[in-house]
Structure 1
Amino acid sequence: MEPGQRKPFSGAVSVFHERWLPEAAVPVGYAALIGAFELAVPVPINLAAIGPRHKVYQEDGWKLYTPRHQPEPSLTGHLTFALRYEGLDLAVLKALFQAAGPEPVADIVRAAPTGSYSRRLWFLYEWLLDAQLDLPDAAQGSYVLAVDSDLQWAVDGTTSQRHRVKNNLPGTPAWCPMIFHTPTLDAFVDRNLGDEARRLIAEVPADLLARTAAFLLLKDSRSSFQIEGEDPPQDRIQRWGQVIGEAGRRTVDGAELERLQHIVIGDARFVHLGLRTEGGFVGEHDRLSGAPIPDHISARHEDLQGLINGLAAFDRGAARQLDPVLAAAALAFGFVYIHPFEDGNGRLHRYLIHHVLAERGFNPPGLVFPVSAVILDRIDEYRRVLETYSRRLLPHIRWRPTDGGNVEVLNDTADFYRYFDATPHAQFLFECVARTIDVDLPAETAFLKTYDAFKAEISRMIDMPDRLIDLLFRFLRQNDGKLSKRAREKEFAALTDIEAIQIEAIYAALQSA
């Protein structure tokens, strides 16, 4: 489609881009613009339409508004509706500006030079495209926020005198994911989980806390490998655990990510280290032909350096103004969608969560939240969260298979990785962090208290080496507090029947305490 050309705006439909509406309705805002300009972009998670009823309701990814919300069927009308009710979808806006060309946007500003929506559009056009419209600087009008902070999370930002707009976007044109306010996210942020964790550990004795922290760190490292289907030797798990324990001490940039990849991979004889020099995908290969069957296609290798620079700018800038968990979700999931390396992306993605939380002082000193362990427990939900974007992204990537069983991307896809909706990812990560505070941390400290009490009781009763006390405790845990026939006949054959009964009673009393 030539710049400035478009199809007529749609009337009432029952299906839009293979997404059924709750009832026949007229797509508006971003949906109308995507349809009219045939924009090849991932369709937003939530779309808007004008329904026949006189009530606003939300269902199946659609928000249906009343006939009185109907915008004027024009570029101005639908853009204004989108900014007012749907927030910013930067990928859609950039594609729209490129499709419409500069004059229609300039005409919107000329028609309402002091209007808040027109000035926001003007600013966004020049910010996204790095090109000036043929317009003089704004001379009047109160400063307006680029991001409606009631709809989406924003930063303090800087002022643009040319547009009389305050740029509170949480990123740069090189990389700027957006996160919507939701009741769930607002409640999590208000809860202040970091303070909760600090209050919780303040009641734990120092020696017990140190052992708890060591266990949780090792557990997180092991889980991060298990998520990738790997079962490495213990020394490799411990080495990666040490790296996680140092998260937040160094700024994230390309060199630091490559350093971490070297540590993650270990034996690099068959893996290219550093940024990819060809395409990449996540998925399977056809068993007969070897052709790729992608579930997710990574960013083009030509775009990697710019995207990593954008991530690094986010880490140094906007990430330090957002809530730490929101920033961690945006950075970590944005990284894994880019998938800049041939191998090691998954573990580095989860490392970035620890990096942001530690750098911002969210975790208590010396303690790592075992986020990977929680993700492993919720692996199906984790994959569904990853698919909230991958599935919307995949249809808009044109690719062909290479002789080596890889993919070659044929269209410009960089903006798909620069601008994405990180709302589901932020909610998932908050749930994981909350579980570590509500369940894992108290459970581990309680376990160690019980173990220490059990060890003390057994030591007073029998002269037994620590390794056997540990084995005894594990046997009891695995068999509902009873010593199995095998344990009585082998490892603990020396126990008398009375001693065995006493040990089981000690264990039971501690469990019920």
Structure 2
Amino acid sequence: MNIRGRVLPEPGTPAGYAALILRHDLRVPPPPRLTAIAERHRPSSTREWRMLPPGRAPDESLQGQLEFALKWEGVSLGVLLALFRKIDTVEVVRMVCETPTGVYARRIWFLYEWLMDARLDLPDGDKVKAVPVLNPKQQFAPESGPLSRRHRVRNNLPGTRRFCPLVRRTPELDRHVEMRLDEKAREVIGRTRPDIVGRAAAFLLLEDSRASFQIEGERPPQDRALRWGQAIGAAGLRDLTLDELVRLQKTVIGDSRFVQLGLRTEGGWIGERDRQTQDPIPAHVSARARDLPELMKGVVEYARGTEEMSVDPVVVAAALSFGFVYIHPFEDGNGRLHRWLVHHVLARAGYNPPNLMFPVSVPMLRRIAEYREVLSSYSAQVLPLVEWRPTRRGNVEVLNETVDYYRFFDATEQAEFLYACVAETVTRDLPGEVEYLEAYDDFSRLVQQQVADMPERTIALLTTFLRQNRGTLSKRARSREFRRLSPDEVGRVEGLYAQCFRS
């Protein structure tokens, strides 16, 4: 038994969303983790399958499978929307009528009307205790939300019908949340001299800018990297709008003579080309151009709406930024804007220390293989569901409705990856840069006092040579740039370097 190539790890029967996808032949990317009922009483689960013992088996009815899915798997908006479009509304009405005060019936009723933008022929619900649409213990969401008096539920969905990715709680994400990385960063800054904080912030901005370009395979000139670093440094200062993203697109591209700025008017894809025909061989097909205005309204709504909610900022940043890059709204610049959105969300939430951005692109570059795998994890699920044909201009034309694939998706894996990158910046890059600058200042002071009076640029060059040669001054440097240093002075310089940098 398998679903979209996902094979059960042991004999069992798909349940919940897996059963609904199979029974109703739903053309949707399945949730990253599905559930099945095993034949044995002590089954083993995997990252892709939760295996439950026979005693947990749901009723085979539509209502039984839906309630099982909500109880064990949380809300999957994409699967639910595809299901609601296939089933008769009479079935949903019957569920609600049979248990009008039931927790799961009320949530199903709300989700049907919210997703379908329709009103069922049902009277408003009785006055019972309201329950949240999302269970915050299962998925990242506020504890509460606006009350829907009709359904007696609180709408704590983080987005709108236009765009609402969701993230499941996992042990890895909970571990990162408990680390309180924002507080750790403030501790580092709190025990550091203000001048060093300022220098570290400037360097980390430039490093993030360079890394973001390198991820795209570019090595920009210094002035272009500095300009994009300034844009990163200003992230969060303005409200997010489509116009703001277009302005940033122009900044990141620089020379826009050969690039259409703003929303695409044609198809979009990422991949290779056939060497003989030059036809596209996509690894990812972007949202259709005609769907972009609504999707981008949703992106902006999600960004603004989550600012008012108590949802973890790193989780929000992952859902928003990866959702943006899957939509791929622009002809060029999407990748760097995707990473800029991470900075925007964290800055708006006050997650990073004032005037200091976490250089998340740096660990992303270090983890480039994992980053690409995370990016492609959802694209690979969507690609088989997209019907397309090549155009004469070497582009792709999408032939079926695909907008829902970009509105609703599970961003759990993406959130785990981004949190790991933020953890690296807080525990490695930020303290490492502070320690380096403190050591550099000590080295500079001691060289001036004990060896020779040198200008700052000469000290910087001396430090670079020593770092490159593991704490010793190369023969070339001793015979050229630092030929005026005596052998005794060279020895003292190397000793001071070892003392300050602990090399």
Specify the TM-score bucket, using the shorter chain as the normaliser. Answer: over 0.9
- Give the Cα separation in 1 of the matches to 2:47 and 2:198: 47
- Give the Cα separation in 2 of the matches to 1:24 and 1:17: 17
Residue 287 of structure 1 and its aligned partner are, at CA, apart by 2.0
Residue 131 of structure 1 and its aligned partner are, at CA, apart by 0.6
- Equivalent residue, structure 1, for 2:190: 202
1:328 aligns with 2:317: yes
Say whether the 8 Å CA contact 1:21–1:60 is kept in structure 2: no
Pairwise mapping of residues 271-286 of structure 1 onto structure 2 (< 5 A)? 271-286=259-274
Pairwise mapping of residues 140-289 of structure 1 onto structure 2 (< 5 A)? 140-155=127-142, 156-289=144-277
Say whether the 8 Å CA contact 2:205–2:357 is kept in structure 1: yes
- Equivalent residue, structure 1, for 2:359: 370
1:382 aligns with 2:371: yes
How big is each residue's C-alpha offset from its partner over 1:322-369, in whole Å with a ceiling of 9 and x where there is no partner? Answer: 111111111111111110000000010000000011111111111111
Q: Secondary structure at the match of 1:408?
A: strand
Say whether the 8 Å CA contact 2:307–2:348 is kept in structure 1: no
- Residue-pair matches, total: 500
Pairwise mapping of residues 17-166 of structure 1 onto structure 2 (< 5 A)? 17-155=4-142, 156-166=144-154
Normalised by the length of structure 1, the TM-score is: 0.95
1:479 aligns with 2:466: no
Q: Secondary structure at the match of 1:57?
A: coil
- Give the Cα separation in 2 of the matches to 1:511 and 1:454: 8
5+ long unaligned stretches in structure 2: none
Say whether the 8 Å CA contact 1:402–1:408 is kept in structure 2: yes
- Counterpart pick for 1:470 among 434, 450, 460: 460
- Equivalent residue, structure 2, for 1:353: 342
Aligned sequence identity (%): 53
- Give the Cα separation in 2 of the matches to 1:147 and 1:323: 15
Residue 512 of structure 1 and its aligned partner are, at CA, apart by 2.6
- Give the Cα separation in 1 of the matches to 2:294 and 2:321: 17
How big is each residue's C-alpha offset from its partner over 1:359-403, in whole Å with a ceiling of 9 and x where there is no partner? Answer: 111111111111111111111111111122111111111111111
Residue 60 of structure 1 and its aligned partner are, at CA, apart by 4.7
Letter in 2 for 1:30: Y
- Equivalent residue, structure 2, for 1:303: 291
- Give the Cα separation in 2 of the matches to 1:463 and 1:119: 77
Normalised by the length of structure 2, the TM-score is: 0.97
5+ long unaligned stretches in structure 1: 1-12
- Give the Cα separation in 1 of the matches to 2:198 and 2:132: 46
Letter in 2 for 1:191: M
Distance 1:210 1:91, change over 3 A: same
Residue 56 of structure 1 and its aligned partner are, at CA, apart by 4.9
Pairwise mapping of residues 418-433 of structure 1 onto structure 2 (< 5 A)? 418-433=407-422
Q: Secondary structure at the match of 1:50?
A: strand
Say whether the 8 Å CA contact 1:279–1:406 is kept in structure 2: yes
Q: Secondary structure at the match of 2:433?
A: helix
1:506 aligns with 2:459: no
Residue 57 of structure 1 and its aligned partner are, at CA, apart by 3.4
- Give the Cα separation in 1 of the matches to 2:379 and 2:354: 35
- Give the Cα separation in 2 of the matches to 1:17 and 1:423: 19
Residue 320 of structure 1 and its aligned partner are, at CA, apart by 3.6
- Counterpart pick for 1:439 among 409, 428, 446: 428
Residue 318 of structure 1 and its aligned partner are, at CA, apart by 2.3
Q: Secondary structure at the match of 2:154?
A: strand
Q: Secondary structure at the match of 1:186?
A: helix
How big is each residue's C-alpha offset from its partner over 1:213-261, in whole Å with a ceiling of 9 and x where there is no partner? Answer: 1111111111111111111111111111111111101111211111111
What do you get for the CA RMSD once the two structures are aligned? 1.3
Distance 1:438 1:60, change over 3 A: closer
1:344 aligns with 2:348: no
Residue 319 of structure 1 and its aligned partner are, at CA, apart by 4.1
- Give the Cα separation in 2 of the matches to 1:356 and 1:51: 42
Letter in 1 for 2:234: E
- Give the Cα separation in 2 of the matches to 1:57 and 1:318: 36
Distance 1:277 1:74, change over 3 A: same
- Give the Cα separation in 2 of the matches to 1:405 and 1:330: 31
- Give the Cα separation in 1 of the matches to 2:300 and 2:501: 48
